[in-house]
Amino acid sequence: MKLPKELIEKFREPYISELENYINSKVETIVKVKSKRLLETKNGQKYLLLTFEDKTGILRAIDWFNAEKNDAKINVGNVVRTQGKVVIYDGRIQLNILEDSNIIVLNEDEYNIERFVSESKMSSESAKTKISYFIDTIKNDTLKKLLIEIFKNDENLSEAFMSAPAGLRVHHNYVGGLAEHSITVASICENVSKIYTWLDRDLLITGALLHDIGKIYDYEISSHGIELTQKGELIGHIVSGFDIVKEKLNKINASSELSEKLLHMILSHHGELEWGSPVLPKTPEAYVLHMIENMDSKLNRMHNIKERELEINPEKIWSDFDPSLGRRILLKHDERG
Amino acid sequence: MKLPKELIEKFREPYISELENYINSKVETIVKVKSKRLLETKNGQKYLLLTFEDKTGILRAIDWFNAEKNDAKINVGNVVRTQGKVVIYDGRIQLNILEDSNIIVLNEDEYNIERFVSESKMSSESAKTKISYFIDTIKNDTLKKLLIEIFKNDENLSEAFMSAPAGLRVHHNYVGGLAEHSITVASICENVSKIYTWLDRDLLITGALLHDIGKIYDYEISSHGIELTQKGELIGHIVSGFDIVKEKLNKINASSELSEKLLHMILSHHGELEWGSPVLPKTPEAYVLHMIENMDSKLNRMHNIKERELEINPEKIWSDFDPSLGRRILLKHDERG
Amino acid sequence: MKLPKELIEKFREPYISELENYINSKVETIVKVKSKRLLETKNGQKYLLLTFEDKTGILRAIDWFNAEKNDAKINVGNVVRTQGKVVIYDGRIQLNILEDSNIIVLNEDEYNIERFVSESKMSSESAKTKISYFIDTIKNDTLKKLLIEIFKNDENLSEAFMSAPAGLRVHHNYVGGLAEHSITVASICENVSKIYTWLDRDLLITGALLHDIGKIYDYEISSHGIELTQKGELIGHIVSGFDIVKEKLNKINASSELSEKLLHMILSHHGELEWGSPVLPKTPEAYVLHMIENMDSKLNRMHNIKERELEINPEKIWSDFDPSLGRRILLKHDERG
Amino acid sequence: MKLPKELIEKFREPYISELENYINSKVETIVKVKSKRLLETKNGQKYLLLTFEDKTGILRAIDWFNAEKNDAKINVGNVVRTQGKVVIYDGRIQLNILEDSNIIVLNEDEYNIERFVSESKMSSESAKTKISYFIDTIKNDTLKKLLIEIFKNDENLSEAFMSAPAGLRVHHNYVGGLAEHSITVASICENVSKIYTWLDRDLLITGALLHDIGKIYDYEISSHGIELTQKGELIGHIVSGFDIVKEKLNKINASSELSEKLLHMILSHHGELEWGSPVLPKTPEAYVLHMIENMDSKLNRMHNIKERELEINPEKIWSDFDPSLGRRILLKHDERG
Amino acid sequence: MKLPKELIEKFREPYISELENYINSKVETIVKVKSKRLLETKNGQKYLLLTFEDKTGILRAIDWFNAEKNDAKINVGNVVRTQGKVVIYDGRIQLNILEDSNIIVLNEDEYNIERFVSESKMSSESAKTKISYFIDTIKNDTLKKLLIEIFKNDENLSEAFMSAPAGLRVHHNYVGGLAEHSITVASICENVSKIYTWLDRDLLITGALLHDIGKIYDYEISSHGIELTQKGELIGHIVSGFDIVKEKLNKINASSELSEKLLHMILSHHGELEWGSPVLPKTPEAYVLHMIENMDSKLNRMHNIKERELEINPEKIWSDFDPSLGRRILLKHDERG
Amino acid sequence: MKLPKELIEKFREPYISELENYINSKVETIVKVKSKRLLETKNGQKYLLLTFEDKTGILRAIDWFNAEKNDAKINVGNVVRTQGKVVIYDGRIQLNILEDSNIIVLNEDEYNIERFVSESKMSSESAKTKISYFIDTIKNDTLKKLLIEIFKNDENLSEAFMSAPAGLRVHHNYVGGLAEHSITVASICENVSKIYTWLDRDLLITGALLHDIGKIYDYEISSHGIELTQKGELIGHIVSGFDIVKEKLNKINASSELSEKLLHMILSHHGELEWGSPVLPKTPEAYVLHMIENMDSKLNRMHNIKERELEINPEKIWSDFDPSLGRRILLKHDERG
């Protein structure tokens, strides 16, 4: 018997972000071990300092009672079930593991992987509304038809688009990331087309919405998180995206002229050959798409770093060195305080 | 005696863009020779096909009468005075050199260099209005004070900013180019800050307006066009801009914290060390500024190529190979026709 | 009325390579001017030293009679009709322009462009035979079916494949170049698969034959020679090839597993992202294909340089610097001498 | 007293590849510890999972009896003597450590380093036969003389050539690797010279056999495996190879013309300056040698990865990321199954 | 009460380099743990092998009595207080930890950070003398005035210059490193100017002394060692140096001509854009400064590697691979023995 | 009959640098045409403005009488014999071609190529004295013996060393350039070894003197100037130098230890693989040699640019863009005026 989704949701253990509703209460929860450190107080008492995580955030926990035993039992990366009391310490929420609590390491079939795969903050409904808005504003008949074909008429494709992540590790690496990224890029492109009025707005927005659509074949969500597929390794999202959109353009009998311009935007959106585009952007619309989508990826990365590091230590000024950006980021960049 | 500017303007020879007011009339004008070609009709008549230019455009001219003599007399790059009849040929304006007209090569002191230095299409007044708008919207006191100090209180600096070009050859290489570029970048940054609300809008816009201010020391306008100064070679606009803004920040007693963030944006706006920035962008605002100003430079370049090549040949589909962009550009990129 | 091809062929002017049949006779021929130089003998007589070319070779010519007149009339690149006496001079064939001969510059519609577009030395028949041989040796049913579909059942595609060049300038830049290149690569790959028996021979040979098939859309032959098409600029032969082969694989219901391996070979055959492949070779077969096709391209280039430069000067030891190879080539490389 | 080699060989402990002859028997063997992991069954029993290796392969072993004690005693990289029962488990051979067995860590002087240095699968005899074949086919007297001088007359040199590895880590990193690599490259070059008949076959094959001969001075086999010598660091195999061959060319009074062509092939075989060749390949033979030897190195690397990873896990589809190749390799690349 | 510096110095625990005065005596000292290894003798006795360090050197220590207890207590990087007997073992000084000695881990406020921050071997006095010498030899009035202004009149600046390090990790990463580096570079530049007499000696020496002055703002000494400041991250020492010297040049009313030449040397001293200079060296003096300061940095690095590695193992021939130099260094480079 | 060298020298035409002894006199001279320009005065008189050159300098010349005739007769690059009156004009020496003078273009056998090949300003005697000085100061017996063997005992080698150029175009591209470059590098290395006393002075100086010795085989002087030899193309001076010095080291039975260190310096002196060294510098002496010889090459280049451009126009402030340096050079770099 498969329980209805709502029922499962109702009785599930609280997420980390929900613990603020349980302050000074005892809870049972399922979390992943992010770090652990066996420490000793001045007077020689051992305690275990833990960081837990799920897709909603990070949680500090302390075990004062079975520090050594639990240190031996669990490893970083384990998913565990535990009980504790939710308290406020040092201005942040903390879980004090109970004396009689057992920290149990769970197998993959003993928890729901969804607890640990993040989701975009942009809801699927909100994403659909925004895409509909863009479709409504397109004046070019062929491009409008194409977007309707993809986002309205082909439910499988549309569903895949709404739930796919847009990355493995570096940016938008969560469920719904592809839609969020595509829509943000389209929004900025819309603004840009108002300032450079000689650009073809409809082409630009259509390209922005579709540039990464091939990513629906690049990733799959397993118990290890998001993983690259065989198709992702051998073909890659740029050519898969070309393939998806080409088929739809054929279906609606788009002119070869228009088709080539749009497909060119998909193929060239990485901007440089060494970044994996088989052709350089040779239209202004392709060039703008490349620049804006690159900027959105990097800003998403920076924002994630900022959120994650300040959550752990709100006083931190500089991020750790980030290999994908090749630098440290100033976390206190904002003069508004 | 120096004539009043208005008087000079009134009696000057018409610019190329003004010839449409003289169709089928004879005019005398001063132009630069862009190309020349001695040709022969089927029946053996020699004629000289010329392209003239001034800062307002390009003009086709034909000499049917003194082809060989004038071919020998003038070189590409010469500024000449000539008379001709303005006609419409093949849908475009053309100058037919008169039989008794003499094409006279002029020395540098015999014409006004202003005829050949292009100006931004954004008027100085319009630029000032837009800068005032941005100043009005800044909420951070220090940054507002800084912009007022630079654009309102320091007339020399403000004047220099309004008239400077933003490049030698590649982009915004005309009088007023610096202001046009800075304002366009600030406009897009304003839009971007609406989408990524966690960015510091005031810092971003202030950085956008000031990032290239050091260019006022980089270029000088001579009879050879725009030239790089000794200061431009030895110090460069990035560090000159740092120097100008640092002095103003000192004057208004800005905090070192805020000063460093703003100066960092100026220093890092080229985005990569190999493009001449001594530091990488390490704040999200510095990163956005780099991306947007890079995009504006390239779009300005593409737009200039498009305008120039289509003016010469409205049927052209692909531009010539452009070394600064490293590719050809599709001139017919626009599906709106 | 369109004359039968055979008739046209019969009455056409002799090609340069055919002039050895006319020694000490007068001929009329149509050639392109490759270089010209107005010189003077010790005793002050002017003469015009010309190099002519057509697709079959290069020809030295001298005009002793109308040197200055003809120097003024013709430009390098012109196609001209002329008469002369074929002589042997300095061990090579030379054309002495006749005193009463007129060198006439021809318009594009006054000669047959075929005279100036080179053809592969591998005949179309020979190419077809070799492809049939490869198809016969393929044991994998799907791959055999695919090759039959492309080379036997789809006549348009097969014809296009047989006549396309494989390059603009650098290598195999002549009619039939694509087939010649593909077959040579397949031949070496066949040998390589005998030495590394753990490689999948059928995949390797199929990939070798199809890797550049997208080039049928990259080039068109005009009166200016071979030119890049709009599709070549915007999509490029790598992705066009993917598209052609993907469609055929779909048609014969190939498994996605096999399809991805073969398509991966097409996509990755340039070997590095910066050389335009959107993915790196990740199978040994893809890697071998990349290496062998790269070697064939470079050897073809070297061989062309050797033939061309030794034809002009059989004593030359080193080639001129070749920008595409980034070096000079030792023309006298062969010890068999 | 030094025992005769045959006697030592007869009484030595079996190699891993020989264990298939001992199934269900007890054996004593000497192996290197590749990995170890202390695990626990559901019911709480500790056991030690080990991977052993010698030059013939990899072996899974389990210690059910002294797991914790032996875990504390041995480290990864140790060479150990142990006893166990050879069993088949999960389709693969496994060693079950006996209860009363002692795992003893050996010092460097307590085992024969030869057990852990791999050897080429091409036997020394087979290599000599193949080299003789190539020498017989050379028609150029000087080159034939040179090869005889090196491979027949100079026994020390010839012996060193037969036993040297061709690499430290990346490719052909085993005894006999140099001969195997050189012969494979010569074999492919022979094939290539049949297709491009304008190449000088004798030069090509001689260069192929000798290109890496300097590696006899680059490596020495110590108890730590293959190590780079001081000469390898300071001079390098490219220049050492030049030196060896130059001396032999002087001895046989080869012409400077021929000598320079052959030495050029040795110097340029890395193909690019940044890969350590002091000159670029400037003859077609030098270019072919570079391409083929590069291909053989990479294929040897891929084949080793494939064999090693499939031996550990025959179901694996993708290799781990390989830093020297800069990618993952598809292990299931072969459609023949 | 703050003790006078001399008193503190008198009663402090001996540095490692001073232990040679205590052979066969017991001492108490404060050191940092560089490495530790728990070992066992043949007969099963556990002992703890330690390497200690302070700014004066490295010390081997052995604990025969409380090996396991102390192994558990201390971590690499801890600063500890311990007692032991100083002995000579294997030709080197060694500390034998006493049976009744307690190894105590100290907090940051329990020891003087100065014990662990290295200092240049060039004393502050010696550095000042050398700078005075250079100032005396300068003939150009403005440059002499500038150096006096910086090194004589501005005590804060001069003090900061004398104590600053010139690096974090790679070279001159110790107190006084900036002065030592600047003076060494100036000394070689002085020699170079004697050989190339057409160089401007005064400019060259002044640039050499001031090129890295901005580093006084780049680093701060904390209990974690030398750390990069926020100003170092956002502005960097190249532009900070420009700023310091520009202000002094303004103060003494230096001509813009001379100022630009000197400031250009500071800005361009990294030699290439990708190494962080915003302009390339465009004067011969700027170019020489870049080359010499680069050489001094690398030689300092090599010398440190040599000293450090030979101190640990005087028989070592090759250094470990050094990532900043990208190679191993031959430690036994000197033929003088 | 071959005339004695002194006699030839006595009766030869004056060099350009000697014309200052002929002011207001008529001379006959032999020069190369560097540039020519047919101009017209205000009143329509044609004149020919010429720049001549020989190895001693550059000369302005004007032909007022046969401007058009001579313009047609001579080409840039021709060597000509002409007569003129030496005058001072505009502060510089100028040759006014005489009315009855004939400008005669000479064949290669009609002039002495020595007139156009520059020589080092360091005389051969002075070079020998300096090398003897260095040999005297070497304390290491083997290195001293080696230098004596090369510079004293082997006259052919020594002569070749003294007369060879050290470059084709970029630096020290004149007779004696190799000796001048080697000695200058040795001089600076000597100074450097005084400052870094831990360097091996003898190794450093020997390496400095011998690092480029292979260049004696790289270049030959023909009527076209300095040309690269076949050996230079195929082997290159780095490996040729290794070969020369290796042979001499063998002859004097140098230890392999010392030989490898010295040969390593020759092989690694280009400093980076991509600059043609097959190994990176791995000893401090090799590293210093690379840095100093690189600096000397670039300074020689800059000095030549400065001298050449100021000779043409003493008011010039910036050099033209120099492709080998990748920048313009400030000609007025010297504050001493």
Q: F225-228 and F219-222 as β-strands: parallel, antiparallel, unpaired?
A: antiparallel
- Hey, is the C-beta of E318 within 8 angstroms of any chain D C-beta? yes
One-letter identity of residue D309: E
| Distance (Å) from the alpha carbon of B260 to chain E's nearest alpha carbon | 7
**What span, in angstroms and rounded, lies between the C-alpha atoms of F54 and B191?**
65
Which pLDDT does position F170 carry in this prediction? 62
Average of pLDDT values for F220-232? 82
Q: Of B147, B129, B161, nearest to B245 (Cα)?
A: B147
E307 in a structural domain: no
Which pLDDT does position C337 carry in this prediction? 60
| Distance (Å) from the alpha carbon of D308 to chain F's nearest alpha carbon | 32
| Distance (Å) from the alpha carbon of F78 to chain D's nearest alpha carbon | 32
Using an 8 Å CB-CB cutoff, list chain F residues near E192. 188, 191, 295
Judge: A279–C236 Cβ closer than 8 Å, yes or no.
Answer: yes
One-letter identity of residue E230: Q
- Per the DSSP assignment, residues forming a β-bridge with C119 are C175
Judge: D195–C187 Cβ closer than 8 Å, yes or no.
Answer: yes
- Hey, is the C-beta of C274 within 8 angstroms of any chain B C-beta? no
| Distance (Å) from the alpha carbon of B234 to chain F's nearest alpha carbon | 9
Confidence of residue D172 (pLDDT cuts 50, 70, 90): confident
Which pLDDT does position A9 carry in this prediction? 67
Judge: C275–A279 Cβ closer than 8 Å, yes or no.
Answer: no
A8 in a structural domain: no
Beta-strand runs (E) in chain F: 26-40, 46-54, 57-63, 79-89, 92-97, 104-105, 219-222, 225-228
* Chains A and F lie in contact, requiring 3 or more CB pairs less than 8 Å apart: no
Using an 8 Å CB-CB cutoff, list chain A residues near D318. 230, 233
Could you read off the pLDDT of E63-108 as tens digits, one per residue? 999 888 888 888 888 899 999 999 988 778 899 998 887 789 888 7
Q: Are A253 and A214 in contact (CB under 8 A)?
A: no
Q: Other C-beta atoms within 10 Å of C256: how many? A: 11
DSSP H helical ranges for B80-165: 124-137, 141-148, 155-163
Q: Other C-beta atoms within 10 Å of A123: how many? A: 14
Which pLDDT does position D206 carry in this prediction? 98
Which pLDDT does position A1 carry in this prediction? 43
**Same structural domain, B137 and B239:** yes
pLDDT above 90 (res F12) = no
Domain end marker among C91, C112, C133: C112
The total number of structural domains in chain A stands at: 2
Could you read off the pLDDT of E277-289 as tens digits, one per residue? 999 999 999 999 9
User: Which residues, numbered 26 to 45 in chain E, qualify as contacts with chain A under a Cβ-Cβ cut-off of 8 Å?
Assistant: none
pLDDT above 60 (res C3) = no
**What span, in angstroms and rounded, lies between the C-alpha atoms of E182 and F155?**
45
| Distance (Å) from the alpha carbon of B130 to chain E's nearest alpha carbon | 30
Chains with 3 or more CB pairs under 8 A to chain C: A, B, D, F
Using an 8 Å CB-CB cutoff, list chain A residues near B298. 287, 291
Using an 8 Å CB-CB cutoff, list chain A residues near B280. 326-327
Could you read off the pLDDT of B235-269 as tens digits, one per residue? 999 999 999 999 999 999 999 999 999 999 999 99
Residue of F nearest to B107 (CA): F42
Question: For residue F1, what is the DSSP state?
Answer: -
Could you read off the pLDDT of F77-93 as tens digits, one per residue? 889 999 999 998 877 88
**Same structural domain, B99 and B135:** no
- Hey, is the C-beta of D333 within 8 angstroms of any chain C C-beta? yes
Could you read off the pLDDT of D83-98 as tens digits, one per residue? 999 998 877 889 999 8
**Same structural domain, E176 and E250:** yes
Judge: E200–F334 Cβ closer than 8 Å, yes or no.
Answer: yes
Q: Which two structure tokens, joined as six digits, stand for D142?
A: 């000087």
Q: Are F217 and D265 in contact (CB under 8 A)?
A: no
Which pLDDT does position D170 carry in this prediction? 62
Judge: A291–B291 Cβ closer than 8 Å, yes or no.
Answer: yes
A63 in a structural domain: yes
Residue of A nearest to B187 (CA): A195
Question: For residue E82, what is the DSSP state?
Answer: E
Domain end marker among D78, D112, D146: D112
Average of pLDDT values for F20-49? 86
Higher pLDDT, B38 or C5: B38
**Same structural domain, C132 and C101:** no
Confidence of residue D1 (pLDDT cuts 50, 70, 90): very low
Which pLDDT does position C4 carry in this prediction? 61
Residue of D nearest to F266 (CA): D235
- Hey, is the C-beta of A317 within 8 angstroms of any chain E C-beta? yes
Q: Taking CB atoms and an 8 Å cut-off, how many pairs form between chains D and E?
A: 7
**What span, in angstroms and rounded, lies between the C-alpha atoms of B236 and C292?**
48
Which residues does B289 contact at the CB level (< 8 Å), separation at least 6? B185, B189, B204, B207, B208, B211, B265, B269, B281
C84 in a structural domain: yes
One-letter identity of residue A220: E
Which residues does D39 contact at the CB level (< 8 Å), separation at least 6? D46, D47, D48, D49
**Same structural domain, E103 and E155:** no
**Same structural domain, D182 and D68:** no
pLDDT above 80 (res E260) = yes
Domain end marker among E87, E112, E137: E112
Confidence of residue E1 (pLDDT cuts 50, 70, 90): very low
- Hey, is the C-beta of C10 within 8 angstroms of any chain D C-beta? no
Average of pLDDT values for E140-146? 98
- Hey, is the C-beta of D278 within 8 angstroms of any chain F C-beta? yes
Average of pLDDT values for A303-316? 87
**Same structural domain, F187 and F255:** yes
Using an 8 Å CB-CB cutoff, list chain A residues near C233. 279, 282
Which pLDDT does position A2 carry in this prediction? 53
CB nearest to B267's CB, from E230, E239, E275: E239
F337 in a structural domain: no
Q: For tokens 């000085």, what's the residue?
A: F133
Judge: D328–A230 Cβ closer than 8 Å, yes or no.
Answer: no
Q: D92-97 and D57-63 as β-strands: parallel, antiparallel, unpaired?
A: parallel
Domain that holds residue E65: 21-112
Indicate which CATH number applies to the domain containing C169. Answer: 1.10.3210
Confidence of residue D40 (pLDDT cuts 50, 70, 90): confident
Question: Residues of chain B with pLDDT > 70: what percent?
Answer: 95
**Same structural domain, D104 and D143:** no
Judge: C328–F234 Cβ closer than 8 Å, yes or no.
Answer: no
Q: Is A189 helix (H, G, I), strand (E, B) or coil?
A: helix
Residue of A nearest to B321 (CA): A282
E320 in a structural domain: no
Using an 8 Å CB-CB cutoff, list chain E residues near A317. 230
Least confident range from B224-228, B280-284, D307-311, F226-230: namely B224-228
> What SS3 string covers F246-263?
HHHHHHCCCCHHHHHHHH
D335 in a structural domain: no
Question: Residues of chain A with pLDDT > 90: what percent?
Answer: 62
Judge: E318–D234 Cβ closer than 8 Å, yes or no.
Answer: no
**Same structural domain, B95 and B147:** no
Directed axis angle between helix B237-251 and helix E237-251, to 10°? 60
Judge: A317–E230 Cβ closer than 8 Å, yes or no.
Answer: yes
Using an 8 Å CB-CB cutoff, list chain C residues near F233. 318, 328, 330
Chains with 3 or more CB pairs under 8 A to chain E: A, B, D, F
pLDDT above 60 (res A3) = no
| Distance (Å) from the alpha carbon of B255 to chain E's nearest alpha carbon | 13
Q: C104-105 and F104-105 as β-strands: parallel, antiparallel, unpaired?
A: unpaired
- Hey, is the C-beta of D125 within 8 angstroms of any chain F C-beta? no
User: Which residues, numbered 213 to 252 in chain B, qualify as contacts with chain A under a Cβ-Cβ cut-off of 8 Å?
Assistant: none
Question: For residue C151, what is the DSSP state?
Answer: I
Q: Are F48 and F96 in contact (CB under 8 A)?
A: no
| Distance (Å) from the alpha carbon of B329 to chain C's nearest alpha carbon | 10
One-letter identity of residue A253: N
Which pLDDT does position C102 carry in this prediction? 79
| Distance (Å) from the alpha carbon of E327 to chain B's nearest alpha carbon | 24
Judge: C334–D198 Cβ closer than 8 Å, yes or no.
Answer: yes
**Same structural domain, C142 and C45:** no
Judge: D230–E317 Cβ closer than 8 Å, yes or no.
Answer: yes
Question: Residues of chain C with pLDDT > 70: what percent?
Answer: 95
Could you read off the pLDDT of A174-225 as tens digits, one per residue? 889 999 999 999 999 999 999 999 999 999 999 999 999 999 999 987 766 6
Judge: C230–B328 Cβ closer than 8 Å, yes or no.
Answer: no
* Complex-level ipTM beyond the 0.85 threshold: no
* pTM as predicted: 0.86
Could you read off the pLDDT of C147-158 as tens digits, one per residue? 999 999 999 999
Residue of B nearest to E272 (CA): B274
Confidence of residue A8 (pLDDT cuts 50, 70, 90): low
Per the prediction, chain B carries an average pLDDT of 90
Residue of E nearest to F143 (CA): E335
Indicate which CATH number applies to the domain containing D72. Answer: 2.40.50.140
Least confident range from B34-38, C10-14, C120-124, C160-164: namely C10-14
Average of pLDDT values for A116-141? 93
Q: Are E268 and E290 in contact (CB under 8 A)?
A: yes
Residue of A nearest to D40 (CA): A73
Q: Of F164, F139, F135, nearest to F149 (Cα)?
A: F135
Q: Of D132, D332, D149, nearest to D244 (Cα)?
A: D149
Which pLDDT does position A6 carry in this prediction? 66
Choosing among E169, E220, E233, which should be mutated to test the A contact, i.e. which has the most A CBs within 10 A? Answer: E233
Using an 8 Å CB-CB cutoff, list chain D residues near C335. 140, 143, 200, 202-203, 258, 261
**Same structural domain, C132 and C161:** yes
**Same structural domain, C108 and C241:** no
Q: Other C-beta atoms within 10 Å of B23: how many? A: 11
Chains with 3 or more CB pairs under 8 A to chain D: A, C, E, F
Using an 8 Å CB-CB cutoff, list chain C residues near D335. 140, 143, 200, 202-203, 258, 261
Which pLDDT does position E7 carry in this prediction? 64
C320 in a structural domain: no
Which pLDDT does position C112 carry in this prediction? 81
pLDDT above 60 (res C2) = no
Judge: D233–E330 Cβ closer than 8 Å, yes or no.
Answer: yes
Q: Is E278 helix (H, G, I), strand (E, B) or coil?
A: coil
Residue of B nearest to F329 (CA): B233
